[in-house]
Amino acid sequence: MYNKIEVTRYAKSSNRIKSKITIALIADLHCSDYGRNQFNLVKLIKKGSPDIILLAGDIFHHFGKRQKGHELIKEAVKIAPVFYIAGNHEKKNPDYFEILNEVKFLGGFVLDNEVVETVVNDNALILAGGDKSAIMKSRLREYFGNSGHFKLMLNHYPENYRDFTDDFDMMMSGHLHGGQIRIPYIMPNGIYAQKQGLFPKYTGNAYDITDKFTLVVSRGISVRRSGRFRVFNRPELVFMDILPG
């Protein structure tokens, strides 16, 4: 039960949205095993009825078999369009470029510091993905500078949000596995996170940073491959409903 997936659902309204969009956010799978064809995870994704599925990095580990990551993507594309960014572990993997090709081959869209426009439930959405802030900001401004559409950043590292508060409406990320050890009410963001140090602020929640900008951080869904342990911090599948407002 301790490693049972917890489903978290957030909602946010925006006047840039005409009809509701449901986003599923999955981060840091590290090729964890949720059954044959990732059945136990896939059934929860289906139950949440997402319009779009975002994979926020470290779906694969930096070594070892990649089958469980492949299985997730293969099943997820049957539910909704899947967008993927690489995390630090994939970048460390000697097969990094092969991983990107595998994601594409399985029907996922790879965002490698790219900014694209996509249509979800009759809403045009500007979607950026990667971790090179300067490249994405200049692409956004060049191609979509005057766009009034909702702008969403998919970025593995929560700390990077500071680069995007002016240009984007929302950022989604993972990486920190919820701060590893959480103490309910006392240390809700966990005890430690890389780059944020002890008692970090942004390890897993939806944070309204400004009136306009929300940071959503998944606590990640790995149970065994990260080499770390979790306390009061179950693996998490996140849904975000963006509502017309």
Residues at the interface with Fe ion (CB under 5 A) = 58, 87-88, 175
Residue 216: name the closest of 239, 193, 235, 198 by CA: 239
Nearest distance, CB of residue 88 and Fe ion, angstroms = 5
Residue 78 half-sphere exposure, CB side, CA atoms within 13 Å? 9
Q: Which is nearer to Fe ion, 131 or 169 (CB)?
A: 131
Nearest distance, CB of residue 64 and Fe ion, angstroms = 15
Rounded Cα distance, 64 and 21, in Å:
35
Nearest distance, CB of residue 228 and Fe ion, angstroms = 11
Question: 149 CB contacts (<8 Å, ≥6 apart)?
Answer: 16, 117, 123, 124, 125, 126
3-state helix, strand, coil in the chain (%, to 5): 25, 30, 45
Q: Which is nearer to Fe ion, 27 or 127 (CB)?
A: 27
Q: Which is nearer to Fe ion, 32 or 123 (CB)?
A: 32
Q: Which is nearer to Fe ion, 175 or 230 (CB)?
A: 175
Nearest distance, CB of residue 90 and Fe ion, angstroms = 9
Q: Residue of minimal CB distance from Fe ion?
A: 175
One-letter amino acid at 43 equals K
